[in-house]
Amino acid sequence: MTERIKADICVIGAGSGGLSVAAGAAQMGARAVLVEGAEMGGDCLNTGCVPSKALLASAAEAQRSGARFGVTRVEPQADYAAAMEHVEATIAAIAPHDSQERFESLGVRVIRAWGRFTSPSDLAAGDAVITARRFVIATGSRPFVPPIPGLETVPYLTNETLWSLRERPARLLVIGGGPIGMELAQAHRRLGCEVTVIEAATVLNREDPELAAILLDRLRAEGVEIVAGAKVASVTGQGGAIRVEVEGGRTFEGTHLLVAAGRVPNTESLNLDAAGVETNKSGIRTDARLRTTNRRIYAIGDVAGRGQFTHLAGYHAGVVVRSAVLGLPARARHDHIPRATYTDPELAHVGLTEAEARKRHGDKLTVLRAPLSANDRAQATARTEGMVKVMAVGGRPVGVSIVGPEAGELIAPWALAMANGLKLSAFANTVLPYPTLSEASKRAASTYFTPKLFDNPWVKRVVGFVQRFIP
């Protein structure tokens, strides 16, 4: 028997963004329904951010070397199964925060079924039909499987299926040189696998090539084979013996294949036509308030086509809560959203890259660099590979790229600055503890003022006057 449910807001998808909207709406007094057909917590908890960072942590431990610090190097024995058990334990530790029980305790009605629109104001899910004043689509994305000849006949892994492995791959072939591919490539190399990454275009093509080169040099030094500009022509073989051929005839052989060729939004099963919701090649079409072509329906996170980051979905959730729950004129902006690739060294960015900034600002652009080799903390820890690179216009940062240890942490104050319109002088005026890696950011900001102070003849005249005539 069909249950009819009336709600103020119905959220489809229990990932980061959907959970935030549902919790916020319910705690503010709205009648909230959450619909999820898969696991609570979504991709980030179960197959994305959390498991990959847990595996990277295990890989980092396996890589530790004491030789340069006067400690005898002992070759680590990596236990792949134990590393995967650490991944599973990490997910289990975080899962209660995203659980159905917790959200029901907050007052959210949780329906564990796939949702499908039957009209602009109705959603069928399992044995229920939800009629809501507003809907929020937060269905996320899934791995893109490219139409490679032969791929459908060969066993392959994605970031969704990888975590079931317990036996270490002897030789892992990775199709795709984006953040997911490079993170998992380095992790597996450090856990004792032979790894080859095959990328059709440029590896980490969204990132500043100057900084990406530093990271790629490190990965190659660790033994990761990186092949760029190689479009896969076909895949053949079977489990344990897989062959990848690229255009031009070169072939690569491995025991396992990981497809990390990007992601696509989850929209097919929603029956969006019935809801009057239009899509484009990136996902669901939305306006600045994240409303779709049906003004009663919002889309957030990966499915909204503005970027595929958990923290972006969380930001979108805040915008929708202010708009749909509180009735405030909230709008989303995306120029201040940071991103990070959690390899070692890490690569982080916010705002415009140098190429983007030059195209937009031309001669008004100033590029500032602070190499970690000039940072005392980096010297003390023997981690001097990397730099802070700042794109500045009129004394304000318009983009920042960082490669080095903890770059994902070091980008935080720059994201703060860009979100709030701070000037470089805010960094130059800040006193930081010594010695810290954060001093590299201050050094980069301070170099903006160096020519204004030290190469300015008027400053020298003023100093001369003060020293001669002011007692």
Task: Kindly indicate the confidence band of residue 457, based on its pLDDT and cuts at 50, 70 and 90.
Answer: confident
pLDDT computed for residue 64 by the predictor? 66
205-220 tens-digit pLDDT: 999 999 999 999 999 9
pLDDT tens for residues 50-94? Answer: 999 999 888 887 776 666 777 776 677 889 999 999 999 999 999
Report, as an integer, the average pLDDT of 129-148: 96
Pairing state between β 387-393 and 396-404: antiparallel
**What's the rounded Cα separation, in Å, for the pair 50 and 91?**
7
Task: Specify the residue for token string 């318009």.
Answer: 398
Which of these, 426, 469, 467, lies nearest to 446 by C-alpha position? Answer: 426
- Is it the case that residue 287 has pLDDT exceeding 70? yes
Q: What pLDDT, on a 0 to 100 scale, did the predictor assign at position 233?
A: 97
Rounded to an integer, the average pLDDT of 438-442 is 96
| Gap between the Cα atoms of 85 and 55, Å rounded | 9
Average model confidence (pLDDT) for the chain? 94
Lookup: tokens for 21:
């909207």
The full set of domain ranges for the chain reads: 3-40+99-143+264-325, 151-262, 339-454
Give the pLDDT of residue 187.
95
pLDDT at residue 374 greater than cutoff 70: yes
pLDDT value of position 174: 98
* pLDDT for the residue numbered 66: 62
Same topology between domain 3-40+99-143+264-325 and domain 339-454: no
The pLDDT value given to residue 76: 72
CATH architecture classification, 3-40+99-143+264-325: 3-Layer(bba) Sandwich (3.50)
Tokens 């900001």 belong to residue: 445
Measure CA of the first residue to CA of the last residue in the chain; give whole Å. Answer: 93
- pLDDT for 231-265, tens place per residue? 999 999 999 999 999 999 999 999 999 999 999 99
Residue 29: exposure state from Cβ atoms within 10 A (0-12, 13-18, ≥19): exposed
Residue among 4, 13, 5 nearest 35 (CA): 13
Tell me the mean pLDDT in the region 343-364. Answer: 97
HSE value, Cβ hemisphere, 13 Å, CA-based, for 464: 6
Strand partners, 122: 119, 131
Confidence at residue 294, expressed as pLDDT on a 0 to 100 scale: 97
- What is the CATH code for 151-262? 3.50.50.60
Share of the chain above pLDDT 90, in %: 87
Could you give the CA distance from residue 348 to residue 211 in angstroms, rounded to a whole number? 10
- Give residue 450's pLDDT band: very low, low, confident or very high (50, 70, 90): confident
**CA pair distance 313, 309, nearest whole angstrom:** 6
pLDDT at 65: 60
Phi, psi dihedrals of residue 193, rounded to the nearest 5°: -90, 150
CATH homologous superfamily of 339-454 equals FAD/NAD-linked reductase, C-terminal dimerisation domain (3.30.390.30)
Contact predicate 137/300, CB 8 Å: yes
Q: Are 283 and 140 in contact (CB under 8 A)?
A: no
| CA diameter of the chain | 95
Checking if the pLDDT of 452 tops 80, the result is no
SS3 string, the chain, reads CCEEEEEEEEEECCCHHHHHHHHHHHHCCCCEEEECCCCCCHHHHHCCHHHHHHHHHHHHHHHCCCHHHCCCCCCCCCCHHHHHHHHHHHHHHHHHHHCHHHHHHCCCEEECCCEEEEECCEEEECCEEEEEEEEEECCCEEECCCCCCCHHHCCCECCCCHHHCCCCCCEEEEECCCHHHHHHHHHHHHCCCEEEEECCCCCCCCCCHHHHHHHHHHHHHCCCEEECCCCEEEEEEECCEEEEEECCCCEEEECEEEECCCEEECCHHHCHHHHCCCEECCEECCCCCCECCCCCEEECHHHHCCCCCHHHHHHHHHHHHHHHHCCCCCCCCCCCCCEEECCCCEEEEEECCHHHHHHHHHHHEEEEEEEHHHCHHHHHCCCCCCEEEEEEECCEEEEEEEEECCHHHHCHHHHHHHHHCCCHHHHHCCCCCCCCCCHHHHHHHHCCCHHHHHCCHHHHHHHHHHHHHCC
Quick: pLDDT tens for 291-328.
Answer: 999 999 999 999 999 999 999 999 999 999 999 999 99
How many CB atoms are located within 10 Å of the residue 242 CB?
A: 22
